[in-house]
A and B are shown apart, each in its own frame.
Chain A
Amino acid sequence: MALLGRAALIIALLTTLFGIGASLYGARQGQRRWVDVGRRSVYALAAILTVAFAVLEVAFINNDFAYNTVANNSSLTTPLFYRAAAMWGSQEGSLLLWVWLLSIWSSLAVFLTRNRLREIVPYAVSVQLGFGAFFTTMLVFFASPFNLTNPAPLNGAGLDPLLRNPSMMIHPPMLYSGYTFFTIPFAFAVGALITRRFDAEWIPIARRFALASWLFLGVGILLGARWAYYEIGWGGYWGWDAVENAALMPWLICTAFLHSLMIQEKRGMLKIWNASLVLGASTLAIVGTFLVRSGILSSIHAFGASTLGVPFVLLIAAMVAGSIYLVVSRRDVLRSEHHLDSLFSRESAFMLNNVLFVGLTFVIFWGTFFPLISEVATGTQSTVGSPWFDRYTVPLALMLVLLSGIGPVIPWRRATLANARRNFMLPILAAALMLIAAYTVVPISSSALTVVLFCAAAFVFASVGQEFWRGWRARKAMSGDPPLLAFVSMIRRNRRRYGGYIAHLGIVVLFIGVSASSTFAHSGYPFLHIGQSYSVGGYTYTNVKPTAALDTDPTSTGALLTLGSIMRVTHDGKYVTTLHPLAQYYDDPSGAEGPVGSLIGGDSVSTLALASSPRRDLSAAIDAPELEGTFNYLVNRANAIVNADHLSAARQTEVSYFLLAAIVHHYLAHPPAAPFKLASSPLVMWLWLGAIILFGGGLVAIWPAPGASRRVRARYLARVAQELGRAQPRRAGSRA
């Protein structure tokens, strides 16, 4: 079957090349047939890659260790769920996932534009297929997932236990969907620039695809943050790690693009800027894909040094050069139709928003690539850490938060003083009230930064709340609907507007969570005997009793030994919760740690015990390597015992298990002082809540208008047309 997989990849590569040729020929000669052939190549690519994907996935599920990829990333003791996900734990498998997702989303894009943008589509299809060609070339010539070893090894190396988390199933596909989706706006922007059709027809489609990219990538980043939090505990959700930054940068540029596109739509301004943004965001998405697998930067994530670095750099260079060429050579098409009327206008606010986003991205870019930059400049690699990033990103983020309350309310073209009074009085009042509260009721005055953020948040909440209130009142007056129906219909009729408002609320809630949980978190690293307690942030943790599970894994990740501790948490003497952190030990198939040692001498994972509430998160973790250190001497002794008697392999395994059980029994009877990481951090849940609201808002904005409201809208538009003294405009199936 590997033959089938291999062949599928080669056929896929040929299909992409053929499709590019057909599309370009059809576009040049004006032959619709050949353009359709090109479009069908995209669908065909999705089908072929599904075959290749299925072949590899089946090999993983069946533990077919003849496949090198399976042998390197899975094992007999890896549970089924994680075997399936292990496919994309490897370089080759993740590339295949990437290009498969690319083909699926490209097919969707081609399908949705089958009756539109006729001139642009052939070029967009060529660009999409071009990406497909690049990645399938990587798979066919550089990183084949279908390499076999004969005879097949009996067991594999196993999926890294750190990756045995349900997030492994969904974070990479989500993130890759985000990255691959970015190729679509890129392709359509390139097509629009080539054909000089950077106009009103292109905008709604580019916006839709960019918003989808934004959603996918954003959720992917969020899932990564949540996964990191579970692995490392408080503060672990973001570390300004190179790979985290690599995913964030395109997302920020995309956010900027979604805003500035509104200006292009309304005033025909910022066309060059928008073209650059959309090309830049997509290029950064490819840079992100490249960073993870190139090994050029130190990161927790890096897949490791590989031969793929050079081809990726060439691809990125081609994208950058091509983008610059297109924007410069088409600058006549990209000239602004209007110009800024006043510095106090929504256009101005949006421009400032964009500048801040680009500035933020530049800071992150600089910090991320600083090791390479400093190496070129000074000869040694130098790194900047989290404090440096925080120093520059926090003020920028604060300004953006404030803007998110100003932007929706300030009018287009020109704001007047009277207008400012009407719209900003309540928000400013809210901020002032929060300021007073910060020094009296809410205990945050120790951090000036947090106070500023909370005041800005109050400002935004009041401003957006005001918008919802006024819109709802207007809707009720206009339609006479009952209150709830009016609210719902208000949102349904203006999805982009209210979806955007909801997203703004979400980001503010998110920042509140970030600020509070980083500024006011408490943690400690005590060694606790049974019965001993430790206080963290007003909460007292007591080590009540040890637990052990041999051969049955409570977390279903295939760990042989799971040690743990029951911890009781109290606050002011009152019981709060019980936490059960675990230290899990996996096997080492290589046998290097001795007969008993190899049973548990592989990777170790500490599973965080978390009690979340809207007010605070309480967490406890056991330092697994340190804990093992406390009974290592027993394992060495057991190794010596097994090695001393010359036993058969089967007997060795039996005796090793028996000795391990004895060690576990000893651990339970005489538990050592266990090394803990204890933490309490306020408002962490707000982070996740804020993110849900943020992306919920995005979903509302992207949701297509259903038939009924389209009819209502059509009638309204007909009325406007009649008022303008024209005949009823033809509606010939031209609904969006």
Chain B
Amino acid sequence: MTEVVAIAAIALLIAFLVWFIGAPLRRRGGSEPFLPSELRVLEAAREAKYTEIRDNELDYRTGKLSDEDFHALDRQLRAEAVEILRALDELR
């Protein structure tokens, strides 16, 4: 008796799986290409650079950096950030 139940459950399971896994194949006609990833990479780089600038500021405020060290590093980081933003603009 339990054999029948088990077989029925297996059949149900397989049916559900086929339906679930195959769902993407049934929607919209034609395939969708990927989003250009360069954009995402640059956006991530921008986020990271902003975090760096912020961390640098925090280091300065907590006294880990002297005035000249901080300003030199800050200028450098902002210059690098400008580069990334320029690249982003070109891409869009």
Contacts and interface: CB of A to CB of B under 8 A. Distances in A.
Interface in A119-175: 119
A64 B41 CA distance: 55
A118 B61 CA distance: 39
A432 interface: no
Contacts of B64: 409, 411, 419, 422-423, 470
A265 B52 CA distance: 9
A720 B50 contact: yes
A117 B40 CA distance: 8
A156 B50 CA distance: 62
Interface string B49-91: 0101111001101111110010001000010011001001100
Contact of B31 (A33, A44, A412): A33
B66 to A, nearest CB: 6
B73 A265 contact: no
A493 to B, nearest CB: 9
Interface string B16-32: 01001111110100011
A477 B43 CA distance: 32
A724 B82 contact: yes
A411 B65 contact: yes
B41 A200 contact: yes
B23 A30 contact: no
By size class, the interface of chain A is 35 or more
A588 interface: no
Contact of B69 (A204, A419, A494, A497): A419
A36 B24 contact: yes
A201 B43 CA distance: 8
A469 to B, nearest CB: 9
A40 B62 contact: no
B19 to A, nearest CB: 10
A227 to B, nearest CB: 37
A497 B44 contact: no
Contacts of B43: 201, 734
Given A4-B6, A30-B31, A31-B31, A474 B62 contact: yes
A720 B53 contact: yes
A429 interface: no
Nearest to B14: A11
Contacts of A47: 17
A720 B27 CA distance: 43
A43 interface: yes
A28 B66 CA distance: 52
Interface in A39-70: 40-41, 43-44, 47-48, 51
Q: Which 5 A-B pairs have the closest CB atoms?
A: A36-B24, A470-B62, A474-B61, A200-B45, A201-B44
Interface of A: 1, 3-4, 7-8, 11, 15, 18-19, 29-34, 36-37, 40-41, 43-44, 47-48, 51, 116-119, 197, 199-201, 203-204, 265-266, 409, 411-414, 416, 418-419, 422-423, 467, 470-471, 473-474, 477-478, 494, 497, 716-717, 720-721, 723-726, 729, 734, 736
9 contacts: A15-B17, A200-B47, A412-B73, A419-B65, A470-B61, A720-B81, A725-B82, A734-B43, A736-B47
